[in-house]
Amino acid sequence: IAGDSTVNITGIADQEITSGGDAFYAFAINNTGGAGNNNIIISDNLDINGEFILNDGILDIDTNNPQLNIAGDITINGGDVSTGSGRVYFDGDLTYRDNVGAINFGDIYIGTSPDTTHLASDLICDSLTINSGDVLNSHGFDLDITNNIDIIGQLDATDDVTGDTTYIYLGG
């Protein structure tokens, strides 16, 4: 499925996505079903080699606990994420932007070396690991981490605007 096209997941009912080990180039979710009918259930490991956009619906990485790899920019304009014990890897040079402001992506791992993740909003997660050789640039945005943070690589908390400060909140 990899190439240079975006796979757009639209609908008004629950949907299940099985990658079969194939990678996607870019992935966008816009499921406008009502509450309880708008889940996008990821049934196996999912590799997105480009941009990921969540506009509406619930990205369900809880039911089957898959590993989710995203190598392109991540933009959240709406919807939600249901997390489980699967890992989420930000495995490219990318920018993370949560325009909703309260989306928890679960257990996040930055990079597969050498990768740099830039924040364009606050980041909320259950746990955060910055792998060796990888960088998380906060640009003055906050980190809200429920459990733990492991910094093996580099956390650059330099602000972009005078007066911005990065706060790291641990324990919810």
For residue 24, is pLDDT > 80? Answer: yes
Give the per-residue pLDDT at 1: 55
Both tokens assigned to 87: 């890992």
Q: Is the Cβ–Cβ distance between 88 and 66 less than 8 Å? A: no
The pLDDT tens digits for 27-86 are: 999 999 998 899 999 999 999 999 999 999 999 999 999 999 999 999 999 999 999 999
Q: How many CA atoms lie within 13 A of 166 on its CB side?
A: 20
* Residue 4 confidence class, pLDDT cut points 50, 70, 90: confident
Q: If you average pLDDT over residues 4-22, what whole number do you get?
A: 93
For residue 145, the SS3 value is strand
Give the per-residue pLDDT at 172: 57
Give the per-residue pLDDT at 165: 86
For residue 160, is pLDDT > 80? Answer: no
For residue 150, is pLDDT > 80? Answer: yes
Give the per-residue pLDDT at 27: 96
For residue 164, is pLDDT > 90? Answer: no
The pLDDT tens digits for 114-147 are: 999 999 999 999 999 999 999 999 999 999 999 9
- Residue-wise burial string across 146-166, b where 16 or more C-beta atoms lie within 10 A, e elsewhere: beebeeebebebeeeeeeeeb
